Amino acid sequence: MTDNEKQDRESGLTLNPKYDSNGLITAVVTDVSSGDVLMVAFMNAEALDLTLKTDVAHFYSRSRQALWKKGETSGNILDVVEVRIDCDQDALWVKAKPAGPTCHTGTTSCFYRKVKNGQLESIA
C-alpha cells in the first residue's frame, strides 16, 4: 500500500474496508443505550453489505464458514442504529438495539467476566 492509499483510507470519505487475508473485518457491537460492548465478531463483504442494507446485524461465522444473521434462530437480533469505521478501515463499530440477550450463553453481553488478579470474576 502506498502512502497515498493509506492517506485516502484514513482521511477520505470512501468506504473501503480493509479485509484480512480471509476476507474478514472485525466488528464490535455496542448497545446504543448502555454503551456496553455486547460482542465482537467478524463480517465479510456480504455480511457488511446486508447489515447496511437491512439495518440488522449480519456476521460471518468462522466456525460454520457461513453467513450468519445474528438472532436468526434465537430471535435476539441486533437492530443497527449506526455503523462506524476506524482510521485504517480494518474495524467496524456497530451501535445497535438488541432485541434480547446477545450472548449465546444467555447473558446481555458476551463480556460477563472481568480479569482480576489473574483470574476471572463474574460481573454482578
Among 30, 57, 60, 96, binds a copy of itself (CB under 8 A): 30
CA distance 37 to 102: 10
Q: How far is the CB of 67 from a copy of itself (least distance, A)?
A: 19
Among 5, 15, 61, 97, binds a copy of itself (CB under 8 A): 15
Among 26, 69, 79, 99, binds a copy of itself (CB under 8 A): 26
Strand pairing report for 25-31 and 113-116: unpaired
CA distance 62 to 84: 22
C-alpha cell at 27: 466488528
Q: Could you say whether residue 103 binds a copy of itself (CB under 8 A)?
A: yes
Cα 99–105–111 angle (5° rounding)?
80
Q: Could you say whether residue 97 binds a copy of itself (CB under 8 A)?
A: no
Q: Could you say whether residue 50 binds a copy of itself (CB under 8 A)?
A: no
Which of 72, 123 has the CB closer to a copy of itself? 123
Q: Could you say whether residue 99 binds a copy of itself (CB under 8 A)?
A: no
DSSP string, 30-79: EETTT--EEEEEEE-HHHHHHHHHHSB-EEEETTTTEEEETTTTTS--EE
Which residues are near a copy of itself by CB under 8 A?
10-15, 26, 28, 30, 34-37, 39-40, 52, 82-87, 91, 93, 103-105, 107, 110-115, 118-123
